[in-house]
Amino acid sequence: MEIVNVNRAPVLTLWAAGVFPVALLGRAVPVLHTDEGLRAVGKDQEPVSPASVEKHLRSKFGATLPHVRAAMETLTMSRSPEVLADDAFRLYEGFRPAIPAGESGWGAKGALRPATILRMAQAN
């Protein structure tokens, strides 16, 4: 698989919540304490369930989700937790989809290359 056409928001969601929750990439995220543990708060100020996040990711990545997730997991395993805590967002910037010329915003689809993520893991 060479290219996955997807916008940046689900890529960041998978990287931050699905694969790499260390310090939530240095960004403030509102959370609630629930019986199941900490949960991010959605736009409706209600806790977001892991099942709804997974459903969202499947809808955006389709059949490519396991491949992209595996590439991200390989990248996280190539760094220590301390390095990841410092470099997580910089790493994301290194593989996130490029916004095509003439497009703007989070909704614009771009090319995500899992091979780039794997090369970043090997470069460590």
33 found inside a domain: no
pTM reported for the whole predicted model: 0.81
Q: Does residue 124 contact residue 79 with C-beta atoms inside 8 Å?
A: yes
**What's the total number of domains in the chain?**
1
Task: Give the structural domain span for 96.
Answer: 4-26+62-122
Residues in the chain with pLDDT values less than 50: none
Euclidean distance between CA atoms 11 and 92, whole angstroms: 9
Q: Does residue 8 contact residue 96 with C-beta atoms inside 8 Å?
A: yes
73 found inside a domain: yes
For 12-47, write each residue's pLDDT tens digit: 888 886 555 555 556 566 666 778 776 777 778 777
pLDDT of residue 88: 86
53 found inside a domain: no
8 found inside a domain: yes
Residue 45 carries which side chain, given as an amino acid letter?
Answer: Q
> Any residues with CB less than 8 A from the CB of 21 and at least 6 apart, and which?
none
Helices 65-77 & 50-61 angle (0-180, nearest 10): 110
37 found inside a domain: no
